[in-house]
């Protein structure tokens, strides 16, 4: 038994290191899993464009037919421009997921108060770079790194695509069981247009779902 003791200690150390290495990866995996549902909830309005109504009927039966035809042609042109694939829709995403917000532990405990959760206090979180290829979402939009755009006034730039907004996320704050979590997201759609959110998630039958989205601010 004396000879086995050092091996037991070594196994425990390696096991602890393994958990520290895989915990951030666990958070990344879950972030990519809940991402489609999150985008459908908070960004759906950005890429669902409602066509304008058709031109009103002529006031007089004697209206110039050429004017009517011209108005209808212009309307058809607008509708054609709104069809899928007519122009690429892009959302800029911050290059990295930053560590969980300081207040996320309190938010987690308060939201799931009836469950008496204890937040995971292991300090192993670090920022990590987002992989756009793993951001499975509506086929109408594509994600590009925020760093690909001008540092200032990116949303006012002239592009050959529609830049719909800029979005960023924090890492996930889990409870000690790893079955509940919360993270923050901020979405910017203009100089004075944006919102901050707390996203509460939970694990149900081996799948992660969004339990609630709490609005922090709207501008």
Measured in degrees and rounded to the nearest 5, phi and psi for residue 5 equal -55, -50
Among the listed residues 23, 28, 17, 18, the one whose alpha carbon sits nearest the alpha carbon of residue 178: 23
∠ Cα 102 108 112 (to 5°): 165
∠ Cα 6 10 15 (to 5°): 150
Q: Which neighbouring-strand residues pair with 190? A: 193
Mean pLDDT is lowest, of 53-67, 81-95, 116-130, 175-189, for 53-67
Over residues 18-52, the pLDDT tens digits come to: 444 456 678 888 998 998 888 887 766 555 544 55
Provide, rounded to the nearest whole percent, the portion of the chain with pLDDT above 70: 65
- Helix residue spans in the chain (DSSP H): 5-42, 44-47, 65-82, 104-111
Answer yes or no: are the C-beta atoms of 190 and 201 closer than 8 Å: no
pLDDT at 30: 92
pLDDT band (50, 70, 90) for residue 8? very low
- Is the confidence at residue 162, as pLDDT, over 80? yes
Over residues 173-219, the pLDDT tens digits come to: 999 999 999 999 999 887 778 899 999 999 999 899 999 999 999 88
Instruction: Give the C-alpha distances (Å, rounded to integers) separating 217 from 43, 158, 162, 184.
Output: 16, 29, 25, 12
- 105 or 7, which is more confident: 105
Answer yes or no: are the C-beta atoms of 210 and 201 closer than 8 Å: yes
- 68 or 10, which is more confident: 68
Listed by start position, the domains of the chain span 5-46+87-218
Beta-carbon contacts of residue 151 (< 8 Å; ≥ 6 apart) = none
Answer yes or no: are the C-beta atoms of 209 and 190 closer than 8 Å: no
Among the listed residues 75, 84, 92, 100, the one whose alpha carbon sits nearest the alpha carbon of residue 142: 92
Please state whether the predicted TM-score (pTM) of the whole model is above 0.85.
Answer: no
Q: Which neighbouring-strand residues pair with 182? A: 173, 200
């Amino acid at each position: 038994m004396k000879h086995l003791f050092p091996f037991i200690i070594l196994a425990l150390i390696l096991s602890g290191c393994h958990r520290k290495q895989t915990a951030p990866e666990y958070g990344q995996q879950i972030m990519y899993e809940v991402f489609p549902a999150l985008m459908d909830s908070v960004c759906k309005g950005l890429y669902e464009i409602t066509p304008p109504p058709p031109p009103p009927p002529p006031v007089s039966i004697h209206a110039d037919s050429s004017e009517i035809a011209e108005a209808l042609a212009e309307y058809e042109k607008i509708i054609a421009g709104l069809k899928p694939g007519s122009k690429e829709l892009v959302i800029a995403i911050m290059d990295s997921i930053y560590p969980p917000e300081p207040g996320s532990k309190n938010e987690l405990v308060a939201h799931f108060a009836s469950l008496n959760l204890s937040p995971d206090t292991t300090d192993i979180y670090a920022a990590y770079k987002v992989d756009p290829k793993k951001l499975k979402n509506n086929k109408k939009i594509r994600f590009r790194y925020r760093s690909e755009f001008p540092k200032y006034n990116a949303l006012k730039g002239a592009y050959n695509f529609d830049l719909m907004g800029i979005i960023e996320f924090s890492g996930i704050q889990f409870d000690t069981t790893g079955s509940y979590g919360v993270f923050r997201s901020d979405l910017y759609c203009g100089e004075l247009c944006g919102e901050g959110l707390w996203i509460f998630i939970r694990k149900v039958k081996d799948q992660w779902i969004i339990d609630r989205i709490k609005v922090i601010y709207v501008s």
